[in-house]
Amino acid sequence: MGDIESGEEAKDFARIRSGYEAIICVDKKISCMQTNKLVLFDFDGVIVDSFDSVYEVEKMLRKNDGLTKDQYRKNFEGNFFAEREKVQKVDFTPEEFYKAYQPKFVTLQPVPHMSEVLQQLSKMYPMIIISSAVTSYIKSWLEQYGIADCFIDILGADIQTSKVEKMKRILGSWQIVPSDCVLITDTLGDIREANTVGIPSIAVTYGYHDEATLKKGEPRVIVHTPEEILEAVEKVLASKEKRT
Domains and CATH numbers, the chain: 24-49+110-243 (3.40.50.1000), 51-105 (no CATH)
Residue 212: other Cβ atoms inside 10 A: 9
Asked if 198 and 182 count as a contact pair (C-beta separation under 8 A), the reply is no
Euclidean distance between the first and the last CA atom of the chain, given in angstroms as a whole number: 47
pLDDT at 35: 66
* pLDDT more than 90, % of the chain: 56
Q: What totals of helices (H) and strands (E) does the chain contain, helices first?
A: 12, 6
Mean pLDDT of 5-19: 49
C-alpha to C-alpha distance for 230 and 40, rounded to whole angstroms: 13
Comparing 142 with 78, which gets the higher pLDDT? 142
In terms of average pLDDT, the best of 21-30, 141-150, 153-162 is 141-150
- Least confident residue range of 88-102, 195-209, 221-235: 88-102
pLDDT at 18: 42
Question: What is the Cα Rg of the chain in Å?
Answer: 17
Mean pLDDT of 94-122: 91
Asked if 216 and 210 count as a contact pair (C-beta separation under 8 A), the reply is no
What is the amino acid identity at position 200? P
Three-state helix/strand/coil letters over 59-80: HHHCCCCCCCHHHHHHHHHCCH
C-alpha to C-alpha distance for 146 and 95, rounded to whole angstroms: 27
Those residues with Cβ within 8 angstroms of residue 107's Cβ, 6 or more apart along the chain or in another chain: none
What's the whole-model pTM score?
0.82
Q: Is the pLDDT of residue 217 over 80?
A: yes
